[in-house]
Structure 1
Amino acid sequence: MGMVLKKTDKLLFELLRFALDTTGELQGFKEAPSDAQWKVIYELAKRQCVRGVAFSGIKKLPENVRPARALLLRWSLDAEAIAGKNKLMDQEGARLTQIFDGAGSKNAVLKGQANARLYPDVLSRQAGDIDIWVEGGRKAVSELLYKLNLLTPETDDHAYSRHHIHLPENKDGITVEVHFKPASGIPFRNGSLQKFLNEEIRKAEKVPEGFYSPSIKFALVMQMAHLQQHFYSGGLGLRQYMDYLMLLRHSTEGDRSAAVAVMKRLSMMHACGAVMWLLQQVFGLEQGLMLCAPDRRRGETLLKLALAFGNFGQYKSKPKNVFVRWFKDRLQALSWLPFDPVNAIFKELKYWRATISLIPKRIKRRRIAL
């Protein structure tokens, strides 16, 4: 027996399908949702960071099927703000591209704004931050950011992660992550992943928005790896899966075949099958665009997480007691064993290694943390 969806979940899925349809085959809602249902749909769209796309669907609906005036106005203002943010993001992406081009460094915008331009309404995707890859590796990219005055000793506190450098938020509230690696790693086969990504990203092409966008083949592999790693942390909302739908709808058969060949080498097919099932159930992914057979059992795990905790798991409540939280986190980690044992075990070993290595420091500071 499969998972049971609420009526309002199904209505949001239907609205998003209608918004993203370019064939003219979908007609939207057969009957108008009640005012109470519309309010729930709005809140669901807010939790999933898909209000802009959902509003694109509302604009296509007949007036007698749309939400009540007050909610419609509120939603319209949200969509206008999202469109304005997208314009600022594209401008910032183009500005950074010009700066790095001027310094003679290859670069490309990853994920968010590169994905946004694939949507039927290019200003409807709710933006997060800008991810931009710059060639050269960690040391060279760090030195370049200092040289260009994009990073200073006063602003580099906690700026570095394993694969990118955070820049300070700009005057428009835009945050930027400068990647010295195209993506974070995956267990045991990270070298092969990085080799493929580093070779493929150099084929990025300039797009009308003023920045370089990687190939669809690159994005299919890189973003599946990105999704896979987030399964085990906070989880993902519908926005990230919707991005992947857009990639598939803009892919060629050659793109898909090449991406699958890489994913098989990297043991990513469990994740791939789960994502294909979710995309089919939520967005009506066409059979001919699937990378592999949909995996219902694993796909339901992803959909349950998305609906329960929203975008990047930000609606997940955490117990106040540190030991209760730690115990629940460990149970959550173990729950991924049937989904992908290699990743689950690797993540847990990595956690214990990091925890044990910090014990002497915590004893010295007389602090207990898990």
Structure 2
Amino acid sequence: MDLFFELIQISLGNKETFDRMPSDKEWQALLDLANKQSLASVLFMGLEKVLEQPGVNKPSVLFEWIGVHQTTTTLNKHQNKRAKDLTEIFSKQGFRSCVLKGQGTALYYEKPEYRQCGDIDIWVTKDGKCKTDDVRSEVLSFAYFRNLHIGHVDIKHSDISFFDDVPVEVHFLPSWMYSPWTNKRLQRFFKEKADRQFSNIDEQLGFAHTTINFDLVYSMVHIYRHIFSEGIGLRQLVDYYYILQRSTEEQRSEAFKTLCSLKMQSFVGGIMWILMECFGMNIMYSLCPANERHGKFLLSEIMAAGSFGHYDSRIKQIDHDKRFKRGFSQLKRNLHFVTYYPSEVLWSPFWKLWHWCWRKRKGYL
């Protein structure tokens, strides 16, 4: 087995030790790949376990790895504080809020402080029958009058600079689908589950975060969306691994039915293959039978892209293209997925044209 996936399994408690101990050069390569996938601190758990075994020499990268881990734990504490601050800011303006992914997902981990954090994604709404468009307008008006920098605005979220040290994405919708029919089902799911999410407040941390039932669907959809844009990272799969570990059989069964209604069963089967084959996950936690064909395809995409596609030359080129060329480049890249996920790929140009017109009409371009 690949040393990197052995280290993942050791870190997750699914393997005792390496089949053979890595050399110093291999330890450096493991750290480099862990950084590429935003997993350095999570995999530090595996390194700690290996070093507890008798006769194991400390690798030369140990102190570098410790430094990365200590930085991650410090950032997590600060991120939790900022999530609380953000919750209080919105609450004072009459908004209900809920942290998506990130600091909420970290709570499923064996050691939450080991999860590498990024920006803060926060979903906001208002009580009553306030429409999404109204919430978006109120949030943007509030940010404008507070002289906060407003970056990208789209139908799902807006980048707003509440803090100098932590990027913030304010969500008006948790996610979306290109296909109008599957998107309608997804938005219905979000609407049905919304109140429970905004009420799921962790009094100790000071912010609301999503529930297991919600995350089993939402986090899988989030991973699915990434394959069509920034690329999937292994950190997202580790997140989902821990979500599954905390779920019940009934919750998994209900989630899979919802994901099937979104035409995602083959994708889900591919993710389950990776989690069982590469992470060593017990089959009892799987949402469905593994799909090896989709799993191998997704794994090749993941290893090429790194976390959020930062190492994928195809995505880097798209990011540097001008707006219209970028759209065509993205479509060309996504055609690579058409035999695997035809509905989303074929609907994407129609959705993107509609979305561009919507943003133009709203003045968000």
TM-score normalised to the size of structure 1?
A: 0.84
Query: Structure 1: how far apart are the matches of 2:29 and 2:162?
Result: 33
Residues 329 and 104 from structure 1, CA distance in 2 versus in 1: closer, same or farther, beyond 3 angstroms?
Answer: closer
Consecutive unaligned residues of structure 1, counting only runs of 5 or more, are 1-6, 358-370
Q: Kindly indicate whether the alpha-carbon contact (under 8 Å) linking 1:38 and 1:67 is maintained by their aligned counterparts in 2.
A: no
Q: Kindly indicate whether the alpha-carbon contact (under 8 Å) linking 1:200 and 1:215 is maintained by their aligned counterparts in 2.
A: no
Work out whether 1:237 is the aligned partner of 2:233. Answer: yes
Deviation at 1:322, TM superposition (A): 6.5
Residues 33 and 201 from structure 1, CA distance in 2 versus in 1: closer, same or farther, beyond 3 angstroms?
Answer: same
Deviation at 1:87, TM superposition (A): 0.6
Aligned length: 341
Instruction: Report matched runs for 1:343-358 at 5 Å.
Output: 343-350=344-351
1:19 to 11, 19, 29: 11
Deviation at 1:239, TM superposition (A): 0.5
Query: Structure 2: how far apart are the matches of 1:83 and 1:288?
Result: 31
Q: Which amino acid is 1:54 matched to? A: L
Q: Percent identity?
A: 31
Instruction: Give the aligned partner of residue 335 of structure 1.
Output: 336
Query: Structure 2: how far apart are the matches of 1:26 and 1:211?
Result: 35
Residues 151 and 220 from structure 1, CA distance in 2 versus in 1: closer, same or farther, beyond 3 angstroms?
Answer: farther
Deviation at 1:330, TM superposition (A): 5.0
Instruction: Give the aligned partner of residue 68 of structure 1.
Output: 59
Partner-residue secondary structure (3-state), 2:66: helix
2:155 to 135, 157, 162: 162
Instruction: Give the aligned partner of residue 212 of structure 1.
Output: 208
Deviation at 1:152, TM superposition (A): 4.1
Q: Which amino acid is 1:130 matched to? A: I
Work out whether 1:56 is the aligned partner of 2:45. Answer: yes
Deviation at 1:76, TM superposition (A): 0.4
Query: Structure 2: how far apart are the matches of 1:197 and 1:303?
Result: 29
Q: Kindly indicate whether the alpha-carbon contact (under 8 Å) linking 1:85 and 1:127 is maintained by their aligned counterparts in 2.
A: yes
Query: Structure 2: how far apart are the matches of 1:190 and 1:325?
Result: 24
Residues 201 and 157 from structure 1, CA distance in 2 versus in 1: closer, same or farther, beyond 3 angstroms?
Answer: closer
Partner-residue secondary structure (3-state), 2:281: coil
Consecutive unaligned residues of structure 2, counting only runs of 5 or more, are 127-131, 358-365
Partner-residue secondary structure (3-state), 1:60: helix
Partner-residue secondary structure (3-state), 1:285: coil
Instruction: Give the aligned partner of residue 117 of structure 1.
Output: 107
Query: Structure 1: how far apart are the matches of 2:172 and 2:326?
Result: 33
Instruction: Give the aligned partner of residue 364 of structure 1.
Output: none
Residues 32 and 155 from structure 1, CA distance in 2 versus in 1: closer, same or farther, beyond 3 angstroms?
Answer: same
Q: Kindly indicate whether the alpha-carbon contact (under 8 Å) linking 1:185 and 1:194 is maintained by their aligned counterparts in 2.
A: no
Query: Structure 1: how far apart are the matches of 2:9 and 2:332?
Result: 35
- CA deviation digits over 1:197-234, x for unaligned, max 9? 12213113122322112211111111111111111223
Q: Kindly indicate whether the alpha-carbon contact (under 8 Å) linking 1:201 and 1:215 is maintained by their aligned counterparts in 2.
A: no
- CA deviation digits over 1:223-275, x for unaligned, max 9? 11111111122311100111111110111112112111211222121221111
Instruction: Report matched runs for 1:8-157 at 5 Å.
Output: 10-21=2-13, 26-62=15-51, 64-65=55-56, 67-69=58-60, 71-136=61-126, 137-144=132-139, 146-147=141-142, 150-152=143-145, 154-157=147-150
Residues 218 and 123 from structure 1, CA distance in 2 versus in 1: closer, same or farther, beyond 3 angstroms?
Answer: same
Query: Structure 2: how far apart are the matches of 1:86 and 1:339?
Result: 36
- CA deviation digits over 1:60-114, x for unaligned, max 9? 2236436524x11111010000111111111111122233334443221111111
Deviation at 1:35, TM superposition (A): 0.8
Query: Structure 1: how far apart are the matches of 2:63 and 2:38?
Result: 18
Q: Which amino acid is 1:139 matched to? A: D
Point out 4+ residue stretches in structure 1 off by more than 6 angstroms: 320-328, 352-355
Partner-residue secondary structure (3-state), 2:122: strand
Q: Kindly indicate whether the alpha-carbon contact (under 8 Å) linking 1:200 and 1:218 is maintained by their aligned counterparts in 2.
A: yes
- CA deviation digits over 1:128-174, x for unaligned, max 9? 11111111424324424644xx5547544434122112121623x20
Deviation at 1:44, TM superposition (A): 0.6
Q: Which amino acid is 2:297 matched to? A: T
Query: Structure 2: how far apart are the matches of 1:66 and 1:56?
Result: 16
- CA deviation digits over 1:266-310, x for unaligned, max 9? 212122111111111221121111111111111111110111121
Residues 174 and 354 from structure 1, CA distance in 2 versus in 1: closer, same or farther, beyond 3 angstroms?
Answer: closer
Q: Kindly indicate whether the alpha-carbon contact (under 8 Å) linking 1:106 and 1:202 is maintained by their aligned counterparts in 2.
A: no
Partner-residue secondary structure (3-state), 1:117: helix
